[in-house]
């Protein structure tokens, strides 16, 4: 499969209220009518809120959550539990045949413990129970898409030992787009794409600009993970890669944002529109 496949990732803040979730479900339905679709979602802010309730401090580096055992329990419960099932239910009520999954289901993605992370500031950080996805496409996803279902993937995985792992949702979306041979990766978040320090949207980011933005700190926190995921997808041949706001309209094609233009390893540009 894969001709005409879109991987669409939503940041958790777009799914927090009934109103926002309804708008995003409308957006998902719209995309699903035009192409096969895999949805990946985060839920960072809801995890933060639950951690605060339990008195656990948040630690993160470049948008990657440093995940100890207690944090993992909360991440799994929030993402694979509340956030995923609520979205699936909303989609179902709108006639979208959504199926909630994690990366651990039917080997949607192979995941291993992430290597110590080389941060933008030069530090090397052990991320704990954080997973790095790897491997080839997923037969389960292909089967679901071929049957007209929309897989909705929470960014949790498990390694070969059965250890649950927290995967950054942008990282997972980028990996799935690459491994499924998607022709589009669309990341919807709370900002109108990549912003410059004045708050204006940077319309196009190429490889050199990406390095500058991360290197000089104009892109930080969750945006570093997003850009890194976009680069991986573009390099592996995903032709269209965009970071857009999910807050302005349920028509994501009309949402302001940033186009990522990085050549694939086989030399073609990710500039098709």
Ligand X SMILES: Nc1ncnc2c1ncn2[C@@H]1O[C@H](COP(=O)(O)OP(=O)(O)OP(=O)(O)O)[C@@H](O)[C@H]1O
HSE-CB of 10 using CA atoms within 13 angstroms: 30
| Closest CB to Mg ion among residues 98, 223 | 223
Give me 261's structure tokens.
């233009």
CA dist 273 and 259 (Å) reads 10
142 binds ligand X (CB under 6 A): no
Q: Does 246 contact Mg ion by CB under 5 A?
A: no
| Cβ atoms 265, 208 nearer than 8 A | no
What percent of the chain is helix, strand and coil (3-state, nearest 5)?
40, 25, 35
Return the residue of 221, 237, 249, 264 that touches ligand X, per CB under 6 A.
221
Q: CA 203 to CA 260: how far, in whole Å?
A: 9
Query: Which residues are catalytic, by number?
Result: 9, 12, 44, 170, 226
158 binds ligand X (CB under 6 A): no
- 212 with 243: CB under 8 angstroms? no
Contact call for residue 190 and ligand X (CB under 6 A):
yes
Least distance CB 42 / Mg ion (angstroms): 5
Query: DSSP assignment of 135-169, as one string?
Result: SS--HHHHHHHHTT-EEEEESEEE-TT--EEE--H
Question: Are the CB atoms for 243 and 260 separated by under 8 Å?
Answer: yes
The position carrying tokens 């997923």 is 138
- Least distance CB 227 / ligand X (angstroms): 9
Residue 228 CB, shortest distance to ligand X, in Å, is 12
To the nearest whole angstrom, how small is the minimum distance from the Cβ of residue 124 to ligand X?
A: 21
| By the rule CB under 6 A, 152 interacts with ligand X | no
Our finding on whether 131 is near ligand X (CB under 6 A) is: no
**Of residues 37, 64, 182, 223, which one binds ligand X by CB under 6 A?**
223
Residue 170 contacts ligand X per CB under 6 A? yes
Binding of ligand X by 220 (CB under 6 A): yes
Residue number with CB closer to ligand X (12 or 100): 12
Residue 133 sits in the site that holds ligand X (CB under 6 A): no
Binding interface with ligand X (CB under 6 A)? 11-12, 42-44, 63, 169-170, 189-191, 194-195, 218-223
């Amino acid at each position: 499969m894969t001709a005409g496949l879109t991987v669409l990732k939503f940041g958790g803040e777009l799914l927090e209220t009934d109103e926002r979730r309804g708008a995003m479900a409308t957006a998902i339905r719209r995309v699903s009518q035009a192409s096969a679709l895999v949805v990946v979602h985060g839920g960072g802010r809801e995890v933060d809120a639950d951690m605060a309730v339990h008195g656990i401090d948040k630690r993160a580096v470049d948008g990657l959550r440093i995940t100890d055992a207690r944090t993992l329990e909360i991440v799994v419960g929030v993402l694979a539990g509340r956030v995923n099932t609520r979205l699936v239910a909303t989609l179902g009520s709108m006639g979208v045949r959504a199926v909630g999954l994690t990366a651990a289901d039917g080997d949607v993605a192979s995941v291993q413990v992430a290597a110590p992370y080389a941060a933008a500031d030069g530090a090397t950080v052990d991320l704990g129970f954080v997973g790095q996805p790897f491997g080839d496409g997923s037969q389960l996803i292909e089967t679901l898409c071929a049957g007209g279902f929309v897989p909705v993937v929470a960014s949790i995985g498990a390694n070969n030992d059965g250890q649950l792992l927290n995967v950054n949702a942008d990282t997972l979306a980028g990996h799935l787009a690459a491994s499924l041979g998607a022709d589009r990766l669309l990341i919807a978040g709370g900002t109108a794409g990549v912003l410059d320090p004045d708050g204006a949207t940077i319309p196009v980011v190429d490889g050199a600009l990406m390095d500058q933005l991360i290197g000089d700190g104009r892109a930080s926190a969750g945006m570093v993970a997003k850009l890194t995921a976009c680069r991986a997808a573009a390099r592996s041949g995903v032709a269209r890669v965009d970071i857009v706001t999910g807050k302005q309209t349920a028509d994501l094609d009309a949402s302001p944002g940033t186009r990522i233009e990085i050549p694939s390893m086989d030399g073609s540009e990710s500039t098709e529109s």
